[in-house]
Structure 1
Amino acid sequence: MDRAYIGRPSRSPKEVPLRDPRVVKLAKTIVGYSCNVQPGEKVLLEAFDIPSDVVGIVVEEISAAGGVPLVHIRQNEVTRALLINAKEETWKAHGAADLALMKEAQAYIALRGSNNVAEISDVPNGPMQWYQTHYMQPVHFKRRITNTKWCVLRWPTPSFAQQAGMSTRAFEDFYFEVCTMDYAKMAGAMKPLAERMQKTNTVRIKAPETDLTMSIKGIPAIPCTGDKNIPDGEVFTAPVKNSVNGKIRFNAPTIYTGSRFENVRLEFRNGKVINATSSDTKRLNEILDSDEGGRYLGEFAIGFHPLIKKPMLDILFDEKIMGSLHMALGNAYDIADNGNKSKIHWDMVLIQTPEAGGGEIWFDDQCIRRNGRFIVPELECLNPENLLGSPAPPKTAPFGSGGTGSKKKERATATRK
């Protein structure tokens, strides 16, 4: 099959449109399952560097469901130009305008592509803080996340394939397999973990250079089943704000606002990061010092997508890696609120499979996962062979392999989910 359609930004009017059935299936999943669009609902569709045909297919599915599509076409290069040149008043105006539109919408879909994952890496900290304060906070964190049905996903561009250390065609196949798997089945398998987390007081995390304890008592545990992000496959909560103590090393590289960080090491005392180092320690600490909440955790989550096995420096994929966990510095979500508020929300991933160094997660006095596999009977349904319904999961490149390796994937987006 000719895959030139995937990721192609435009075509001659004389060309016959190609409708890759995988794109149609994904669009149906987003509209019908993730956002459950109902007749008469307004759906804000934002497309960042996405092929026009793909946007058109999603518009068709919204319309077929009886929804009203409100389409915004955006470009990452234009966003960078705004960030570099705009004044604080510009982001106040953008925030007010898009907040009004978001209030009109009952659902929100974001299709995010990128031709250069480091597009905003040279934006100074000041403009980024204006953007976070006057745009991201009011439009997305305060309005969209808590008041709309929403789904955010990436698009398989050649740049994204390069991040993953894969050929473009191989990555397309991987992408659609991951994004169109049976999330309804996965949803049922998540329930025991969410219930167990809800009953847990103390969590202990052990891994190389890692020994961290925290309490999650009284904080809701939220299963993520494909109705907010695609791909999905995690259960998240938040630690009691002042309960985190110990140290942790995140072995997956991370990107924040276009800048890359490796081997982030954090030391906590009574909830606060008292020491932070990485491949760019200066920039890391500048971000953590953005505000008072930047040095406290706003999220703790366990990931288990059976087809995602290695980092590719895109948090929507990396935080779902089989055998991983992640934590977010900064703002807590309202649905799992520990009281921490911040302009930042920065997810960092620790992979505990044997290839990545192994590790354990303890709930109170019981080890529930060892070396990336759940070892208590009620949670074994989340191991990959059970989620996939086959004796062994499909083979993918191991941790740290691929053309660019475990530390060669980047993205440039100023928001998480």
Structure 2
Amino acid sequence: MDARIEKLSRQLTEYACSLQAGEKVLIEYEGKETLPLVQQVIRDAYRLGAVPFVEEKAGRVLREILLGAKEEQLALQCEVELARMKEMDAYISIRGGDNIAELSDVPTEQLQLYDKMLQPVLDQRVNETKWVILRYPTPSMAQLAGKSLTAFEDFYFQVCNMDYWRMSLAMDALVELMNRTESVRMIGPGTDLSFSIAGIPAVKCDGKMNIPDGEVYTAPVRETVNGVITYNAASEMQGFVYENVRFEIEKGRIVHATANDTARINALLDADEGARYFGEFAIGVNPFVLEPMKDILFDEKICGSIHLTPGMAYEDADNGNRSAVHWDLVLIQRPEYGGGEIWFDDRLIRKDGLFVVEELLPLNPDRLMKEEGVIGIERALAGSKQKGSE
């Protein structure tokens, strides 16, 4: 067994989900490449006294189902999935699909219907279980990243097995600052946008829900977003890769949207009333994730990035927006992507992807990567033992 897989399994079972004896965990996976990790996660779940349940997913199978599915069929399917999710204490998703465009020819109305039917399952999983989601390195992912499979695997395990415990500590200052902040302004090429985050909690993502991880998120007060934003990272959604996405926003609502397929993006934003409002604002800080690869679990963590998300708000940073859509579109503000600034309450916080205020300097890549090497679970477990002995 590859030692990197064993370490990653511990990240998932011990650090991210903190599995305890007797807890039931649903392990969903896609792709045969994921099997070594799936097997190790099962072993570790048993070692910790947890009870694993496993289900295989396949994009090609889902495509065939959706092409002919009726509303009653999808409602029953999701009802069964919801009943099962209500029995689970934890959820681990290991995704290794070989084609990100597998659903690209499924009619938009079918995808929207499926998303609507699935929403209660997602709400149960997000709000009522300990959960973590990750991609697994495949040839298709390596191709999207422009790397050989070997080079991509090296990058992948470096990112996924990084010291999330260290990152978590450094994130605390940003959480505290965002919780004190009322107004946000973002400036950059094709972007001049302002909104309020007053009264909405900031939440750090430190390896407990996504692997890789590395963001702090909140949500804009729903009707306060005004201005224009131009995203510079391509983004896959429902099997289609969108590029050059530009939104004009008035009183929180996207009133004009363009992209490489303007008709398609507007159809997506017309899925429901909430899809044209924003449900999340987040700042990406992972020092090892630098370039977009059309995989949102990586791209939303890009060092020096933000994402401003049309659609559903999270329960723990809730601005009241409800939608079947939650689309994390990414804007990178490092110099090679055109630069940019973030201001909190008329104070410059980050310029060209680097934090410029003293309390946030530990989140810059030179500080996060210093002394990198001890994975978060080892620190976390050591901390727990020390705390328990006091």
TM interval, short-chain normalised? over 0.9
Structure 1 residue corresponding to 2:130, chosen from 129, 149, 161: 149
Instruction: Indicate whether 1:245 and 2:226 are aligned.
Output: yes
CA distance in 1: counterparts of 2:310 and 2:53, whole angstroms: 33
Which residue number in structure 2 is paired with residue 334 of structure 1? 315
1:219-260 per-position Cα deviation (integer Å, ceiling 9, x unaligned)? 000000100000000000000000000001000011111111
Selected match of 1:90 from 51, 68, 73: 73
Q: Give the Cα–Cα distance (whole angstroms) in 1 for the partners of residues 271 and 58 of structure 2.
A: 26
Aligned to 1:134: 117
1:363 Cα offset (Å): 0.2
Q: 1:378 is matched with which residue?
A: 359
**Residue from 323, 340, 344 that aligns with 2:304:** 323
The 4+ residue runs of structure 1 with deviation greater than 6 A are none
3-state SS, counterpart of residue 345 of structure 1: coil
Q: Give the alignment of 1:18-417 within 5 angstroms.
A: 19-51=1-33, 52-135=35-118, 137-140=119-122, 142-389=123-370
Does structure 2 retain, via aligned residues, the 8 Å contact 1:88–1:127? no
Under a length normalisation based on structure 2, what TM-score does the superposition of the two structures give? 0.94
TM-score w.r.t. the length of structure 1 is: 0.88
Q: What is the CA–CA distance in structure 1 between the aligned matches of 2:296 and 2:57, rounded to whole Å?
A: 21
3-state SS, counterpart of residue 195 of structure 2: strand
Residue 49 of structure 1 and its aligned partner are, at CA, apart by: 1.4
Aligned partner of residue 239 in structure 1, secondary structure? coil
CA distance in 2, matches of 1:235, 1:56: 31
Aligned mates of 1:242, 1:50 — CA distance in 2: 45
Could you tell me which runs of 5 or more consecutive residues in structure 1 were left unpaired when the two chains were aligned.
1-18, 392-417
Query: What's the % identity of the aligned pairs?
Result: 51
> C-alpha displacement at 1:269, in angstroms?
0.4
Match of 1:49, as an amino acid? Answer: G
Shift in CA distance, 347/322, structure 1 to aligned 2, threshold 3 Å: same
CA contact (8 A) 1:44 1:105 kept: yes
Shift of 1:57: 1.1
Q: Distance in 2 between matches of 1:74 and 1:350?
A: 31
Tell me the alpha carbon deviations over residues 183-209 of structure 1, each in whole angstroms, 9 at most, x when there is no partner. Answer: 011000000001000000000000001
1:111-170 Cα offsets, whole Å, 9 max, x none, are 0011111111111012111211112x0101x20000000000001000000010110000
Query: 1 CA distance for matches of 2:165 and 2:371?
Result: 17
Q: Give CA-to-partner distance per residue, 1:259-291, whole Å, 9 cap, x none.
A: 111010001000000110011100000000000
Distance 1:196 1:50, change over 3 A: farther
Instruction: Report the residue type matching 1:43 in the other structure.
Output: V
**Residues 3-18 of structure 1 aligned to structure 2 (within 5 Å):** none
Distance 2:165 2:106 in 1: 40
Aligned residue type for 1:138? P
Q: Cα distance, 1:390 vs. partner? A: 5.6
Look up the SS of the partner of 2:266 in the other structure: helix
> Counterparts of 2:354 and 2:27 in 1: how far apart (Å)?
38
For 1:71, what is the secondary structure of its paired residue? strand
Deviation at 1:50, TM superposition (A): 3.8
Partner deviation per Cα, 1:9-60 (whole Å, 9 max, x = no partner) = xxxxxxxxxx111111101110000000000000000011143332111100
| Cα separation, 2, equivalents of 1:192 and 1:89 | 48
Q: Could you tell me whether the CA contact under 8 Å between 1:50 and 1:111 is conserved in 2?
A: no
Contact 1:23 1:54 survives alignment (8 Å): yes
Amino acid at match of 2:24: K
Structure-2 separation of matches of 1:163 and 1:30: 25
Is the 1:381–1:387 Cα contact (8 Å) retained in structure 2? yes
Q: Deviations over 1:64-94 (max 9, x none)?
A: 1110001001211111111112211121111
